[in-house]
Amino acid sequence: MSPTPPAHREPVFNIPSVILGILALLALIHLARWLFLSDQDDLEFVLMFAFIPARYDPSLLLGGTIPGGIGAQVWSFVTYALLHADGMHLGFNALWLLAFGSPVARRFGAARFVAFFVVTAAAGALVHLMTHHAELSPMIGASASISGAMAAAMRFAFQRGGPLGFLRGDNDDAYRVPALPLSGVLRDPRVLAFLVVWFGVNLLFGAGTVPIAGEGQTIAWEAHIGGFLAGLFLFDLFDPKRPPVDPLADADRTAA
């Protein structure tokens, strides 16, 4: 009698390598700042790479005292997303990136997801600039890109056979179900409920009715909305074009 082959098991944690890479980069940057930079050096580092609306108002540049110059006016649209205020801020964003970035990365692939991360970060910074004109306070954190990933996941996660669907598929098939068209976003009650809760929480942050951890810290909720809207409306630009996958096809063939 031949031995029974071991049963195949899916890994408990199936995290895309691009998500692990981004998390490692965020952690390394934060650790390097903590270990190797003095308080003054860290402040200058943050001012160099954070998004500061005052950079774009020549009358408030104070003789060029904001580090980075013209270059920072370009790179800070993205680099601010790589910096975090403290370990709690980093850990909170890391958990949300794992939860919502992982399914989107599995669907998009590594290169498309990195591009998506960059674009949604820039969209969040743009909305922040529009709503905080000439403000000197720096904005940091990956929340705008994570909000974009939430919106992107919403386009397919609730679909039949998707990661959150009642009849979910196996393996990668669950991440390749046809995406919900924009015209159907407000007709799906689950998606609509997600939208109402998400926007409601962010508006509460904006109104100051939700407490924020850390004295003197505020939440750039407008940037969250910018990243979210970019993820929602630009989803199709990053979604790989592939033939529709029927997550029940294998089950139908087995039954036959």
Place 20 in a pLDDT band, splitting at 50, 70 and 90. very high
In a domain, 252, yes or no: no
- Of the candidates 147, 102, 98, the residue with the CA atom closest to the CA atom of residue 121: 147
In a domain, 212, yes or no: yes
**Distance of alpha carbon 233 from alpha carbon 227, whole angstroms:** 10
CATH number at residue 51: 1.20.1540.10
Place 65 in a pLDDT band, splitting at 50, 70 and 90. confident
Q: What is the number of structural domains in the chain?
A: 1
Q: Are 148 and 233 in contact (CB under 8 A)?
A: no
* 238 or 1, which is more confident: 238
Q: Lowest-confidence range among 23-27, 97-101, 215-219?
A: 215-219
In a domain, 3, yes or no: no
In a domain, 126, yes or no: yes
In a domain, 251, yes or no: no
Single pTM value for the model? 0.85
Q: Lowest-confidence range among 31-40, 51-60, 188-197, 202-211?
A: 202-211
In a domain, 94, yes or no: yes
Q: Are 26 and 90 in contact (CB under 8 A)?
A: yes
In a domain, 202, yes or no: yes
In a domain, 233, yes or no: yes
Q: Looking at the predicted structure, is the pLDDT value of residue 91 above 60?
A: yes
Residues paired with residue 51 on neighbouring β-strands, in sequence order: 139
Predicted local distance difference test score (pLDDT) of residue 201: 87
Domain, as residue range, for 132: 17-244
